[in-house]
Amino acid sequence: MVKRKVAALEKIDADFASLQYKIRRDPKSYKDDFLKQWEQYEAQREIFFMSPTTAAADSVESFHNMIDLIAHVADCYPEETQTFPDDLKAIVSQNHETLHHELRDKVVGSLVLLRRKEVIDSTSLLTTLFPILVSSRSKSMREMLFQKILSDMRNSNSKSTNHPLNRTIQAVLYNLVTADRASPRAIWAIKLTRELWKRQVWTDAKPVDVMKEACLADNEKVIIGAVRFFLGGDKEREELEDESSDEEIDLAKVKHQITINKKSRKQKEAYKKAVDKVKRQEKKKSKPHPLNFSALHLLHDPQEFADQLFTKHLQSTKNKLSLDTKLLVLQLITRLVGLHKLTIVPLYSWFIKYLTPKQQSVTSILASLAQGVHNLVPPDALEPLIQKIANEFVSEASASEVAAVGLNAIREICSRQSLAMTETLLQDLVQYRKSKDKGVMMAAKGLLSLYREVGAEMLKKRDRGKDAAMGLSSGLMKQRKFGEEEVGGIEGLDLLAKWKEEQRKRKRAEKGLPEDGSDASDDEKDKDEDGFNSDEWEVGSEDSSDSGEWINVEHSSDEDEPAPKKRKGEEDGDEDNAEDEAAELERMTKLATTTILTPADLAKLQELRAAASVQKAMGGKFRKRQQQNPDGPTHADDGLTAENIEAPIRLRKLTKEEKVALAKEGKPDRDEHKSTQAIRKSKKDAAGKSTSNREKQRKKNFLMTLGKAKSKQKRSLIETRKVLKGHVERSTRGGRRRNDQEREIDKFDVEQIKQHVASVKL
């Protein structure tokens, strides 16, 4: 639509912008003009509706202008423009396929404008736009509509959650997904849900339900979209949150900028905005963290869902999903199985035919398999799988990468269900630790160390290692039976107990009491003195003192009255390390079961935990062990990926670029060959920082230094002494000059001289 040239006079005449401005400034006075324009709009609408498809460019343009004008002033005349929103809705929903694109965009934009002016509500806007989004064939239109819908959803949820609107839209999306499972339209429901999930507008179970239904669709695109949401939606959400919290504003810098540059209203506003943002960020920080469950946890009836997914997309021979899609679905199913400990027995036998080295993306399949194993899977179902992996992958004849992958996969499976392994196979596989290939060797060692922890008796005696052998002989270490659960504890609780004990000892030492004594009155006194004491919070302080009594490893002679039984345990602990550990364990659990942990305790616990983890990361010994056991630091909720299975291979097969990148990591950026000093300096310059005193000295103009050098030679003895003394004085104060130092030294000198003179006279 090329705009027709308008003559200068006419421009003044038919200036919609100025009319709009005048109307908005004084709606009452310009009502007549508005009514005229309203009539004009009606006439244009009539003309337009006469033939919406073949309207001339001129009539389209004038209609476009009228809509624009009316939409902008609609809030000034609510009575007269009552029918306007409905008109627009009718126009766009009936004719969106045939409308001129600019007019179409204008109508949609006007509707959104009316929403912003609160002439219409979000529900009516979204229920108009969404069907168009779903059915439109124009890509640009869909893009725009999606943006508008999304921004409107965000806006209406920005101040507080708009529950009725969310419910309506979620119901619309749900219906869209479930109405026709074969149609690709549901992709819009997925896109919208995913976006709103990412931005934490929707965090409840309903959108998850929408996605769940979408997973069970027949259209491949829809399936992929929905499955990807479950696999990556939460991570995306976390990343976005991190990103938004990263950007911080330096208020001081903004303020400083204002003092330098010209003062203008724009700058003032920018400053105000920055202050607002900082305030908002601070408020956000002090707010309690919103409790966001991951989509996988919000699923209703995961067993049913996983069953349906499996039977529909994997087991049935009829569907024509591509391998990639199948892998994604498989990942989701196994993730669900592992996370919720579901039981889908046919799943494991389904894997059998895919477990060959020639299978495409077999590492991902292996990862899925391992991910889908948990301690309640019957070992019988897994045994043939492990056997098959061992046969197919792990042999002297197969390539070393293949063998490493197989061993890693077996280790991952067995770390989740150790009972699936047979003794002979294990002993066989462990032999590979002598392999010349590093990947295979590491994988086999990983398996070995795993079984040293979870099933040492299956290993040959010489493979068991010291800890396991001792544990076995003392009976402390036992292979867990099927379905047996580990006794849970609180991470770092032992650290807290230890810390508490130390505190107590220290306090007693301060008072001159024997370190190990215990009486209630003592404890109470402690409380009175020490404000920080967390015991104040405790309900059963007697219990804590009791528990504190017998822990002490140090045995002192003037101990009052320790219980005999406990004392016996203590002596045993001196003798046997394992016994001591057991006692530790008991003590640990006791702290949690006998006392109520106060907020102060919990804060301390957190602190101790963090300190311990730092220490772990620093200590070389521990680090090594952690590297060997890669699934140590990962959380149980996180899925297993193909990389975990392939990891050691990756180490070996680095390309040169990757190696260089690895080496460069954490080092200063080096574009050209320069000294580190030079790089640092250029960085400093770039950051706008000033030079150091030393540098200033070095760079000082030679001629300026001449005068001082000359005068130095002419100095008298006294002057020289003064300077030297001043230097010494300053060096004791860290090189800083005091304001009136010179003068003081002068006084000091004069007095000294006087004294000197007097002494000479005497």
Q: Residue numbers of the site for another protein (CB under 8 A)?
A: 2, 4-7, 10, 13-16, 19, 22, 28-33, 35-40, 42-44, 46-47, 50, 56-59, 62, 79-80
Q: How many CB atoms lie within 10 A of CB 324?
A: 13
- Comparing CA positions, the residue from 539, 534, 552, 576 lying closest to residue 498 is 552
Q: Rank residues 44 and 331 by Cβ distance to another protein and give the closer one.
A: 44
Q: Rank residues 79 and 657 by Cβ distance to another protein and give the closer one.
A: 79
Alpha-carbon dihedral 338, 341, 346, 349, rounded to 10 degrees: 50
Q: Rank residues 77 and 202 by Cβ distance to another protein and give the closer one.
A: 77
Q: Rank residues 17 and 509 by Cβ distance to another protein and give the closer one.
A: 17
**Smallest distance from the beta carbon of 114 to another protein, in angstroms?**
21
- Comparing CA positions, the residue from 130, 110, 112, 131 lying closest to residue 121 is 112
**Smallest distance from the beta carbon of 76 to another protein, in angstroms?**
14
Please give the helix or strand (H or E) that residue 502 lies within, else none. Answer: helix 493-510
**Smallest distance from the beta carbon of 38 to another protein, in angstroms?**
8
**Smallest distance from the beta carbon of 103 to another protein, in angstroms?**
16
Q: Rank residues 59 and 533 by Cβ distance to another protein and give the closer one.
A: 59
Kindly give, in sequence order, each residue whose CB lies less than 8 Å from that of residue 690, ignoring residues fewer than 6 positions away: none
CA distances from 330 to 183, 238, 311, 363, 390 (A): 23, 24, 11, 13, 22
Q: How far apart are CA 519 and CA 542, in angstroms?
A: 9
**Smallest distance from the beta carbon of 669 to another protein, in angstroms?**
40
Q: Rank residues 22 and 609 by Cβ distance to another protein and give the closer one.
A: 22
Q: How far apart are CA 259 and CA 340, in angstroms?
A: 60
- Comparing CA positions, the residue from 522, 544, 546 lying closest to residue 534 is 544
**Smallest distance from the beta carbon of 125 to another protein, in angstroms?**
24
**Smallest distance from the beta carbon of 36 to another protein, in angstroms?**
5
Cα 536 versus chain centre, distance: 36
Q: How far apart are CA 595 and CA 547, in angstroms?
A: 10
- Asked whether 326 and 364 are in contact (CB, 8 A), the reply is no
Q: Rank residues 65 and 343 by Cβ distance to another protein and give the closer one.
A: 65
DSSP structure string for 424-480: HHHHHHHGGGG-SSHHHHHHHHHHHHHHHHH-GGGS-GGGSHHHHHHHHHHT---PP
**Smallest distance from the beta carbon of 42 to another protein, in angstroms?**
8
Q: How far apart are CA 134 and CA 130, in angstroms?
A: 6
DSSP category for residue 381: H
**Smallest distance from the beta carbon of 100 to another protein, in angstroms?**
15
Q: Rank residues 80 and 536 by Cβ distance to another protein and give the closer one.
A: 80
**Smallest distance from the beta carbon of 35 to another protein, in angstroms?**
5
Q: Rank residues 6 and 251 by Cβ distance to another protein and give the closer one.
A: 6
Kindly give, in sequence order, each residue whose CB lies less than 8 Å from that of residue 434, ignoring residues fewer than 6 positions away: 441
**Smallest distance from the beta carbon of 50 to another protein, in angstroms?**
7
Cα 178 versus chain centre, distance: 32
Single-letter amino acid code for the residue at 480: R
- Judging by beta carbons within 10 Å of its beta carbon (0-12, 13-18, 19+), is residue 512 exposed, middle or buried? exposed
Kindly give, in sequence order, each residue whose CB lies less than 8 Å from that of residue 47, ignoring residues fewer than 6 positions away: 55, 59, 63
**Smallest distance from the beta carbon of 153 to another protein, in angstroms?**
33
- Asked whether 211 and 232 are in contact (CB, 8 A), the reply is no
**Smallest distance from the beta carbon of 75 to another protein, in angstroms?**
17
Q: Rank residues 46 and 558 by Cβ distance to another protein and give the closer one.
A: 46
- Comparing CA positions, the residue from 548, 549, 545 lying closest to residue 562 is 549
Q: Rank residues 4 and 434 by Cβ distance to another protein and give the closer one.
A: 4
CA distances from 596 to 487, 501, 550, 586 (A): 19, 16, 20, 17
Q: Rank residues 29 and 200 by Cβ distance to another protein and give the closer one.
A: 29
- Comparing CA positions, the residue from 234, 228, 235 lying closest to residue 190 is 228
**Smallest distance from the beta carbon of 20 to another protein, in angstroms?**
11
- Asked whether 401 and 638 are in contact (CB, 8 A), the reply is no
Q: Rank residues 31 and 684 by Cβ distance to another protein and give the closer one.
A: 31
Q: Rank residues 48 and 393 by Cβ distance to another protein and give the closer one.
A: 48
